[in-house]
Amino acid sequence: MATTTASITLSSSDLTGDALALSTTSTLTKADSVTGLDQTSGVARKIYTSTTLDPLLDESKYTASKAHKVYLKNNSTVATEYFKISVGDGGGSPQEVGRLYAGDWTLIPWSATTNADICITPSVATSMTLEYMVIFE
């Protein structure tokens, strides 16, 4: 059984009136189970040179309604460059989830249900690199 642990620590001395120090850890498991997620797409990088929407992850390649986790990271060092992250049919009108600015990353749950492609839209047509991986069952 694979064991994958995700951890995050958030700290700030001036974000709130008091010092902020949050830390949490989770073992990534299959849906309705204590068995660890045991498959991965592997860490990959994709270089974008246009602002065209790209259906990066096709929901049809994964089992719907499972405990998939998607890691995304914007490797840019230019503060104004971002990737718009959206979910929906790549050919239709995906719903924007958020933006990853330079150096930002995220780990999100993904059900891979019908019309739930993970789509990426770069903010600029210059070379931008997105790092990504799916951990799934």
Whether the predicted pLDDT of 1 surpasses 80 = no
CATH architecture of 39-136: Sandwich (2.60)
Mean pLDDT for 7-31 is 92
- At 16 the pLDDT is 85
- At 18 the pLDDT is 87
Q: How distant is the alpha carbon of residue 20 from its chain centre?
A: 25
Residues 6 or more apart whose Cβ sits within 8 Å of residue 129: 45, 46, 47, 48, 74, 75, 76
Tokens at residue 74, please? Answer: 């914007």
* Pairing assessment for the beta strands 20-27 and 5-12 based on DSSP bridges: antiparallel
Could you report the per-residue pLDDT of 59-93, keeping only the tens digit for each? 999 999 999 999 999 999 999 999 999 999 766 68
Confidence grade of residue 5 (pLDDT, cut at 50, 70, 90): very high
d(CA 57, CA 76): 21
Q: Which of 129, 134, 137, 126 is nearest to 102 (CA)?
A: 129
Rounded to whole angstroms, what are the CA distances from 92 to 19, 47, 89, 123? 44, 23, 5, 19
Q: Residue 52 phi/psi, 5° resolution?
A: -80, 140
Q: Which of 115, 91, 117 is nearest to 134 (CA)?
A: 117
pTM: 0.92
Mean pLDDT for 106-125 is 94
d(CA 44, CA 55): 15
Confidence grade of residue 135 (pLDDT, cut at 50, 70, 90): very high
Confidence grade of residue 129 (pLDDT, cut at 50, 70, 90): very high
Could you report the per-residue pLDDT of 38-56, keeping only the tens digit for each? 999 999 999 999 999 999 9
